[in-house]
Amino acid sequence: MKFFVDTADVADIKDLAASGLLDGVTTNPSLIMKANRPMFDVIKEICALVPGPVSAETVSTDHKRMLEEGRKLAKLAKNVAVKVPLTPDGLKTCKVLRSEGIMVNVTLCFSAAQALLAAKADASFISPFVGRIDDNGHDGMMLIDEIMTIYRQYPHFKTEVLVASIRHTQHVVRAAKMGAHVATVPPNVLRGLFKHVLTDIGLKAFLDDWAKTGQSIL
């Protein structure tokens, strides 16, 4: 499974990229607002830090303007993945951008039927929002299971399932068990994957015993 981080905080991205865990980054207008910096500057800087796909989202709703925005965003760096909404105009834009060799992340997916349409439009990534589905009283991970089941029936589909709106580490684990291609994870959840109480207890015991030996490696 690939790990993307869902943030526009460059400091967080630098820190996580140093671990070698990051395969890409996803941003959206809300994350850009939190960064409180010009969007183009943020995207360029992130693309220089991470060699994998960096999602940058269009903000228009009509096909013509969305296409213009997508082309402009794609020029910022070779690893930009243009993000478009799962609407008729969004999928029209996806189809054109993909024909031009531009990566496209189709976002705001909430049904298997929508995911099927995105694959038909040759999306590079489809982003189902599991956390938001959970918030509305349903199991978001069931949607991932449905999408993966459908995509496996059609090997010619090249669209990767990018699990989005992840709220906790079990979302990541369940997505991996289902074979999802990518999880885009908030920085705190990605760091949470390291944590286990038995790791902390074991490390403390080893260090305490080492201190008793009076030795030093350096």
Give tens-digit pLDDT for 149-170: 999 999 999 999 999 999 999 9
- 199 to each of 168, 191, 203, 204, how far by Cα in Å? 19, 14, 6, 9
Q: Of 83, 120, 158, 177, which is the active-site residue?
A: 83
Question: pLDDT of 26-71, one tens digit each?
Answer: 999 999 999 999 999 999 999 999 999 999 999 999 999 999 999 9
The reported pLDDT for the residue numbered 173 is 98
**What pLDDT, on the 0 to 100 scale, is given for residue 70?**
98
pLDDT, position 123: 98
Specify the DSSP element, H or E, that contains 174.
helix 169-178
Q: Which domains does the chain possess? A: 2-213 (3.20.20.70)
| Residue 83 falls in the annotated catalytic set | yes
For the beta carbon of residue 79, count every other beta carbon within 10 angstroms: 17
> pLDDT tens across 164-205, in order?
999 999 999 999 999 999 999 999 999 999 999 999 999 999
Helix (H) or strand (E) holding 89: helix 88-99
